[in-house]
Amino acid sequence: MHRHLRLGVNIDHVATIRNARGGSHPDPVRAAGLAAKAGADGITAHLREDRRHISDEDIDRLMAEIRLPLNLEMAATPEMVAIAIRHRPHAACIVPERREERTTEGGLDVVRGQQTLAPMVARLTAAGIRVSLFIEPELTQLTAAVAIGAPVVELHTGAYCDATGPARDRELTRLAAAAVQAHAMGLECHAGHGLGYDTVSAVAAIPTIVELNIGHFLIGEAIFDGLEHAIARMQALMGRASS
Ligand code: PXP
């Protein structure tokens, strides 16, 4: 059976390059417009607490100027919940955040954070936002996600992408098992982090995953091939692996 595996394009690192010089070029919202033209299914942007790449104004403009659904990545803080509720993006993906990290390292610990996360999931959901939790592919995390009422999980593919040899196979098996369990538990299952042309197909072939969020590789590849081509090539790989 054919399924359409959605691609969310994460534009954070267009803003990273812009911010390196403090001006307005390159504009991540323009990149989002190009991604839409290239056939992306959604735009993902992480408004970090330290605003190191995406800014509040970027979020204002993404909501106003881009037709594609916005997936707002955010830390589990009252400030971010208030911002999400003010903007009402299509989706909010709650991620762990530490200031010193280079990127989102490791998934959210939903098991330990249930008490704090549950009311946030409820408030975002009540505002009409589809909430996902970015977690490691582990049964305990899936169970906790269900317990606090999250409709969606995004499985962290970083360990799979970083591994080599037999360790990579083991990580893929873990991802596939978690994706099957998530589906059986009634969760919508997404995946992302670190994916590129070499790693996307095996993840896209997992039948219960319905969306991939990809950023760093696509923005990097855009330097050589243009953003639209890079997105089209990624989608072709995803389409081939998932049909
Ligand atoms: N999904 C989540 C939840 C993320 O935090 C990130 C990184 O911001 C991504 C996907 C995309 O990862 P990458 O930029 O490595 O493709």
pLDDT (tens digit, 9 = 90+) per residue, 167-193? 999 999 999 999 999 999 999 999 999
Read off the pLDDT of residues 193-205 as tens digits, 9 standing for 90 and up: 999 999 999 999 9
d(CA 85, CA 122): 12
Question: For residue 70, how far is its CA from the centre of ligand 1 (angstroms)?
Answer: 14
List 130's β-bridge partners, or say none.
91
Evaluate if residue 58 carries a pLDDT over 70.
yes
Question: For residue 215, how far is its CA from the centre of ligand 1 (angstroms)?
Answer: 6
Mean pLDDT of 18-39: 97
Active site (annotated) includes residue 46:
yes
List the residue whose alpha carbon is closest to atom 6 of ligand 1.
Answer: 193
pLDDT averaged over the chain? 96
Active site (annotated) includes residue 25:
no
* Of residues 49, 52, 38, 13, the one with CA closest to residue 194: 13
61 burial level (CB within 10 Å; 0-12, 13-18, 19+): middle
Do residues 78 and 39 make contact, with C-beta atoms less than 8 angstroms apart?
no
pTM above 0.85, yes or no: yes
> Counting atoms of ligand 1 from 1, which one is nearest the CA of 195?
16
Q: Given this model, what pLDDT does residue 3 score?
A: 81
Mean pLDDT of 53-71: 98
Question: For residue 243, how far is its CA from the centre of ligand 1 (angstroms)?
Answer: 24
Mean pLDDT of 62-90: 98
Mean pLDDT of 71-87: 98
The full set of domains in the chain, from first to last, is 6-242 (3.20.20.70)
Structure tokens at 241: 């692996």
Evaluate if residue 55 carries a pLDDT over 60.
yes
Q: Given this model, what pLDDT does residue 101 score?
A: 66
Q: Given this model, what pLDDT does residue 1 score?
A: 53
pLDDT band at 137 (very low <50, low <70, confident <90, very high): very high
